[in-house]
Chains A and B, each alone.
Chain A
């Protein structure tokens, strides 16, 4: 049950089915409710939280329509154009329901030619769809006055014996205007669509910021996995709504007294798949050492570039369920570290130590002299008997300008064990062999 109001005058804002069965009503004083039912959970109503989730759902709805408006406790979206893309109303409705159910929201959906009618019908019952103006007028006729969301001045109507909208609409307009003011008539006209709805379109925010408070202190990462899964799923839903992706986001693990640990998650390309985002976040999270218990989680995504789905070749030979290379790279980086996956390329420097580097793309001609297939990080001395020289020497004498001077004669040699090595010795001598690579 949700309660709100000053400490000495709390009133019931919402009650679940079993509470209502016991006689609890919305608007009741908390003390009256306690007199009716001995035990219930009273949870304080959080208007900011409601507002936040309201806007979150509007961002989700944005996926289905470009015209989304916020009404108190409801979201209205213009679907007549969307049906061309998503299919007829029953199909679109089931898509919406599936989304809301997946996100864990209870909902009622109604469709009508005007936003305010849809709003009223959703308040009456779930799943009504009136798609033409005639059917809408008939449907409105049976709506009780109490549920028709009329201005406060209309509260006295049932006392006059006018219980449905049909009865109200049948009354002479002049008389209504005189007794109840122009606002009531305007509301009725908005219902029927005789005057424009006057709603302002919702614009989704450009930053995703979601905070989840944990029910108790969490001391190991494994317990964070479940909330993180939920949060990344929400992020993915939000991204799908604005048809964008996320390149970088931040998981903030909040501790007591305002301290927090940040876990940045960076991706090579924009992504928006819920499963992938969760996997990357979990991979990063596993490496974090928690300095103290976590009481809340926050997911902040500011960098939201456009999402470009990777194209696939029609004649692709790979299996149908193949994971694209970019995603594989992300998966490996998430677990092994950001610099774990790399490519090597040639540079124009002739010194073997500097002839290649990560992500070099210099267009270098093929080396005319023999080069090994393995390069040792640092040369190692060749012990034992003198090796058999297969080819050489190739003199490398360079680098005098940058303190990395080398002056070596390189040979291809064969060791006593039958290994072929790339070895060097000082110019002109054939002693003091140093192995620098293997012809594996």
Chain B
């Protein structure tokens, strides 16, 4: 038996390296929404992570949340992949938001291939952001996406119905969109900080 050593003496002698998560680099992936950037711990989207956006119905400004980011990425010639979108992206509208559609790949996949496709795109390392609308993603599936996003250093956005709010999620960031009585964003989970108690108003604008 080795002699019992006090842990504190080992730490003081600097013989032990204490693993901790590297501090997130601040401001690498600004959302383009000043009020949101101000309260998020990473100063924007958590880089190389999964962000979950929960909505009550379609068309309440969920794309407006990510379009400034997509515009910034595509302008830097980075590819963005949209996996099995619920509707056809309207090119004229996306371009009005500054997105370069030549960098946007749209993948049509049936429901059960959607998660596989999303994971492949995230893992590939050649996509800067991947948008997906999984319907039946459980905790495990989302965790796979989170790991894939980390491997491929990509931003993963999943858009899901608000009823999933009660289920735990491995996403680094969870935002809930509220349309009525007024459009606002609740931060429901953000890794690295406490959840703010107040919602952020979402200014909807139409070009």
Q: List 28 A-B contacts (CB under 8 A).
A: A321-B125, A323-B124, A329-B105, A332-B117, A335-B116, A336-B117, A339-B108, A341-B105, A343-B102, A344-B88, A344-B106, A352-B90, A355-B91, A366-B92, A371-B92, A372-B90, A373-B94, A374-B86, A374-B88, A375-B87, A375-B90, A418-B179, A419-B58, A419-B179, A420-B60, A420-B206, A437-B87, A438-B87
Cβ–Cβ < 8 Å partners of B89 in chain A: 344, 373-375
**B158 → A minimal CB distance (Å):** 15
Q: CA–CA, A412 to B94, complex, Å?
A: 16
Cβ–Cβ < 8 Å partners of A336 in chain B: 107-109, 113, 117
Residues of B within 8 A of A (CB): 56-64, 67, 79, 85-97, 101-102, 104-109, 113, 116-117, 120-121, 123-127, 151-153, 179-180, 183, 204, 206-207
**Is A319 in contact with chain B by the CB < 8 A criterion?**
yes
- Which of A328, A331, A376, A417 makes the CB contact (< 8 A) with B87? A376
Of the listed residues A324, A345, A418, A440, the one surrounded by the most CB atoms of chain B closer than 10 A to its CB is A440
**Is A80 in contact with chain B by the CB < 8 A criterion?**
no
Q: Contacts A322-B124, A343-B104: A440 and B92 contacting too (C-beta < 8 A)?
A: no
Cβ–Cβ < 8 Å partners of B104 in chain A: 343-344
Please tell me if the beta carbons of A437 and B93 are within 8 angstroms of each other in the complex. Answer: yes
Q: CA–CA, A411 to B207, complex, Å?
A: 13
Please tell me if the beta carbons of B153 and A318 are within 8 angstroms of each other in the complex. Answer: yes
Please tell me if the beta carbons of A439 and B127 are within 8 angstroms of each other in the complex. Answer: no
**B120 → A minimal CB distance (Å):** 6
Please tell me if the beta carbons of A343 and B63 are within 8 angstroms of each other in the complex. Answer: no
Task: For chain A, give the interface size range.
Answer: 35 or more
- How many inter-chain residue pairs (CB < 8 Å) link A and B? 167
Cβ–Cβ < 8 Å partners of B113 in chain A: 335-336
**Is A377 in contact with chain B by the CB < 8 A criterion?**
yes
Cβ–Cβ < 8 Å partners of B63 in chain A: 373-374, 440
- Which of B59, B96, B152, B183 makes the CB contact (< 8 A) with A319? B152
As a 0/1 sequence over residues 364 to 386 of chain A, the CB contacts with chain B under 8 angstroms (1 = contact) are 00110011111111000000000
- Which of B56, B85, B96, B204 makes the CB contact (< 8 A) with A366? B96
Cβ–Cβ < 8 Å partners of A355 in chain B: 91-92
Q: CA–CA, A229 to B25, complex, Å?
A: 44
Q: CA–CA, A371 to B87, complex, Å?
A: 14
Q: CA–CA, A328 to B122, complex, Å?
A: 10
**Is A356 in contact with chain B by the CB < 8 A criterion?**
yes
Q: CA–CA, A335 to B88, complex, Å?
A: 22
Cβ–Cβ < 8 Å partners of A419 in chain B: 57-60, 179
Please tell me if the beta carbons of B93 and A371 are within 8 angstroms of each other in the complex. Answer: yes
Of the listed residues A318, A375, A421, the one surrounded by the most CB atoms of chain B closer than 10 A to its CB is A318
Q: Contacts A322-B152, A332-B120: A420 and B204 contacting too (C-beta < 8 A)?
A: yes
**Is A398 in contact with chain B by the CB < 8 A criterion?**
no
Q: CA–CA, A325 to B105, complex, Å?
A: 10
Residue of A nearest to B108 (CB): A340
Residues of A within 8 A of B (CB): 318-319, 321-325, 327-329, 331-332, 335-336, 339-346, 352, 355-356, 361, 366-367, 370-377, 390-391, 412, 415, 417-421, 437-440
Residue of A nearest to B102 (CB): A343
- Which of B59, B116, B180 makes the CB contact (< 8 A) with A439? B59
Q: CA–CA, A421 to B61, complex, Å?
A: 11
Q: CA–CA, A418 to B95, complex, Å?
A: 24
**A367 → B minimal CB distance (Å):** 4
Q: Which 8 residue pairs spanning A and B have beta carbons closest together?
A: A418-B179, A322-B125, A438-B59, A419-B59, A374-B87, A371-B92, A371-B93, A375-B90
Residue of A nearest to B99 (CB): A373
Q: CA–CA, A243 to B116, complex, Å?
A: 33
Residue of B nearest to A324 (CB): B126
**A240 → B minimal CB distance (Å):** 24
Q: CA–CA, A210 to B120, complex, Å?
A: 31
**B115 → A minimal CB distance (Å):** 13
Q: Contacts A356-B92, A374-B90: A343 and B125 contacting too (C-beta < 8 A)?
A: no
Cβ–Cβ < 8 Å partners of B123 in chain A: 323
Q: CA–CA, A336 to B168, complex, Å?
A: 31
Please tell me if the beta carbons of A421 and B59 are within 8 angstroms of each other in the complex. Answer: yes
**A7 → B minimal CB distance (Å):** 56
Please tell me if the beta carbons of A417 and B124 are within 8 angstroms of each other in the complex. Answer: no
Residue of A nearest to B93 (CB): A371
Residue of A nearest to B179 (CB): A418
- Which of A335, A344, A376 makes the CB contact (< 8 A) with B91? A344
Cβ–Cβ < 8 Å partners of A322 in chain B: 124-126, 152
Q: CA–CA, A332 to B108, complex, Å?
A: 10
**B114 → A minimal CB distance (Å):** 10
**A160 → B minimal CB distance (Å):** 72
**A323 → B minimal CB distance (Å):** 4
Q: CA–CA, A425 to B100, complex, Å?
A: 31
Q: Contacts A373-B89, A374-B89, A417-B179: A367 and B105 contacting too (C-beta < 8 A)?
A: no
Residue of A nearest to B94 (CB): A373
- Which of B64, B94, B95, B126 makes the CB contact (< 8 A) with A328? B126
Q: CA–CA, A371 to B101, complex, Å?
A: 15
Cβ–Cβ < 8 Å partners of A344 in chain B: 88-89, 91, 101, 104, 106
Q: CA–CA, A337 to B107, complex, Å?
A: 10
Q: CA–CA, A390 to B87, complex, Å?
A: 22
- Which of B57, B96, B107, B207 makes the CB contact (< 8 A) with A332? B107
